[in-house]
A and B are shown apart, each in its own frame.
Chain A
Amino acid sequence: MTAKIMYSFIMIIQTLILFITIFSQITNPIVFLLFIIIILSMVLRWRINLKPCYMLIDLTFFLLAAIFYPVATNYIFIFAYYFSYKNKLIYTLPLIIVGLIVNDGSYYLLLLQGLLFGTILYNWDKESNSSKNTIDHLRQHIYDLEFVQSKLLSDYQDTDRISRLTERQRIAEVLHDNLGHELTAAHLSLKAYKALMAANQFERANVTLNKSEKRLENALHQLKSSVKSIEPNLEIGLLDINNLCDNFIYPVEFVHSGDILKLEPYIWQLILMTVREALTNITKHARPSKVNISLKVTDYSVRLTIENDGIINNPREISGHGLRYMRNRLEAVNGSLSIQRQNTFKLIIFIPFERSK
């Protein structure tokens, strides 16, 4: 129940109290007219969001009516409830002055209960609004972070693509600068050999052939050294996973199959992130005797399975923030994350990828 509904409910009770107070004189048309005017005033505030200061006009009307019809003083305690709910206690000053003039115990009692209920409701409303705002703010912050994360991942893929192109450019330059010269020279030497052989200059042809052979040997050597210099250290990802497994508090068995060297760096990053998150979750929420990690790479996809046998039954823990972030990051690269809970807790991630050209 919101404070606003509670306010309306208490307002109805206040109106009933007023009705009971004036019941003995209700057949007097003036008394009834004032009664429904006050109802109109409250319905107007319920329907249209008017500033509390406008209620002073209504109050003035009742204070003026009280000069001619003293019964009108019975009505004005409702204003105390309204003003205190709107946190405008200063506006209740005329009511207190009227109380001093009237000097009636029941008037004070009604005024006091109106002030009390209004103040309590105001504070309740304020408190619930504050909590609601905090929750909204935090939720907004989480959404912003998730958005930034997915953007970063997308940017990372773009950067990866650009760096791959740059790398190809570098390889092309290496091949051109080193191999290109040697192979061109070998090609020319072989042409010269052919011409010398046709001219029956066998000795010179033999020298040229030897030069060609030497050039080709050099080219082969340079090819090997170029390949070695441009080949990335693809073992780093594996080493990282092995390190994580070795340093984990529970025993971990890590197996992998397929050509892991074909995996792109961003996929390695996702795999590492998943393994790290999964192992952290196991530390927090499970008591396994053993953890099995399996990495299977095929031509077009990679499948990582992390399984532990130390399930602690607490369904709330399944969908935490960590797993949600992980899922979002995987979905950003068309991957997926699924969980299987039977005798063991199995976390499976699947990432499709394009074959490197």
Chain B
Amino acid sequence: MIIFKHALKRSLAQPISILITLILPIGIIFVPPLTNSYPNGIYLYGLLSLFSGFILSKPIVEERINKISVRISATPTKYSSYLGSHLMAYASILIVQNIIFILGIYLYWKDLNINYGLIFTLTSAYSLMVIALSLCWNSLFRSYNLSFGLFSGFASLMCLVSGVTMPLQIIPEEIKRFIVVLPTYWLPYGLNSLHDGNIKYVLIAQLVLLVYSGIFLLIGSKRRY
């Protein structure tokens, strides 16, 4: 619990964390729908959440680079407890971000017929996937700046082709066969399914995101010094 509190305080101490958690979600609420679907801001939220998760995971990378994790390994603290507490802290912040965003949607788009509970579970599953992906991605690099630089390009491209920044409806079916492997695809897919009333597929999208979280977590949690 001490590590969890420390990770939470440390993340919230960064002004950029406040900006991405509280200000930016409010900013994208007003983006109107482009096609016959939900307001585009809900889809763009996937991009915001992706970068939020990545920026929030910075301390854990810095601790690895600064060899703090080596010192921690010499203490009675278990690596699983250290990692779990950090990830829980980041997940908590992202879930708060989700609540703020969904509350904003509820207040601004009053006439929108939407299942807020499912939106919340879907965005929460997406947030978990984002944190696990950030952990996995960062585990491949020894420098946060290099990692962030490459991730910016990769994430933007991934969001563009997987229906986060560009509506899925305009992406050709042939390309869709390939983009299903992208984890970000499953947020707009889930949202579209929700819009179409296919609750079963919304749940599958959530499951896929959770399985992705598990895979990324297993790869990223490998202890590296």
Contact = CB atoms under 8 A, between A and B. Distances in A.
B177 A47 contact: no
Nearest to B201: A29
B205 interface: yes
Given A26-B177, A27-B180, A39 B215 contact: yes
Interface stretch (B84-92, B152-160, B206-214): B206-214
Interface stretch (A30-38, A80-88, A177-185, A252-260): A30-38
A43 B219 contact: yes
A248 interface: no
A47 B204 contact: no
Interface string A297-340: 00000000000000000000000000000000000000000000
Contacts of B208: 29, 32-33, 36
B67 interface: no
Interface string A33-56: 100110110011011100000000
Contact of B204 (A29, A40, A44, A46): A29
A124 interface: no
Given A33-B204, A36-B208, A27 B177 contact: yes
B176 interface: yes
Given A23-B177, A32-B180, A33-B204, A40 B222 contact: no
A139 to B, nearest CB: 29
A26 B179 CA distance: 10
Nearest to B178: A26
A40 B215 contact: yes
Contact of A44 (B177, B201, B218): B218
A32 to B, nearest CB: 5
A232 B193 CA distance: 105
A264 B134 CA distance: 72
A244 to B, nearest CB: 57
B214 A40 contact: yes
Nearest to B219: A43
* Range class of the B interface residue count: 10 to 19
Contacts of A36: 208, 211-212, 215
B54 interface: no
Nearest to B214: A40
B111 interface: no
B45 interface: no
Q: Tell me the dominant secondary structure on chain B's binding face.
A: helix
B218 A43 contact: yes
Given A23-B177, A27-B173, A29-B205, A47 B211 contact: no
B180 A26 contact: yes
Given A33-B204, A36-B212, A39-B215, A27 B176 contact: yes
A47 B221 CA distance: 9
Contacts of B101: none
Given A26-B177, A27-B177, A33 B207 contact: yes
Contacts of A23: 177
A32 B177 CA distance: 10
A47 B219 contact: yes
A23 B222 CA distance: 31
B90 to A, nearest CB: 21
Nearest to A29: B204
Contacts of B211: 33, 36-37, 40
Nearest to B189: A29
A32 B209 CA distance: 11
A48 B212 CA distance: 17
A127 B100 CA distance: 60
Contacts of B205: 29
Contacts of A26: 177, 180
A19 to B, nearest CB: 8
Contacts of A29: 189, 201, 204-205, 208
Interface string B161-181: 000000000000100110010
Given A26-B180, A40-B214, A47 B222 contact: yes
B180 to A, nearest CB: 5
Contacts of A40: 211, 214-215, 218
A118 to B, nearest CB: 22
Interface in A141-190: none
A27 B189 CA distance: 11
A336 B218 CA distance: 54
Interface-centre pick from B180, B189, B205 (highest chain A CB count, 10 A): B180
Interface string A239-268: 000000000000000000000000000000
- 7 tightest A-B CB contacts, nearest first: A29-B204, A47-B218, A36-B211, A43-B218, A40-B214, A40-B215, A40-B211
Given A44-B214, A44-B218, 20 more contacts: A26-B177, A29-B189, A32-B180, A33-B204, A36-B208, A36-B211, A36-B212, A36-B215, A37-B211, A39-B215, A40-B211, A40-B215, A40-B218, A43-B214, A43-B215, A43-B218, A46-B218, A47-B218, A47-B219, A47-B221
Interface of A: 23, 26-27, 29-30, 32-33, 36-37, 39-40, 43-44, 46-48
16 contacts: A26-B180, A27-B176, A27-B177, A27-B180, A29-B189, A29-B201, A29-B205, A33-B207, A40-B211, A40-B215, A40-B218, A43-B215, A44-B218, A47-B219, A47-B221, A48-B218
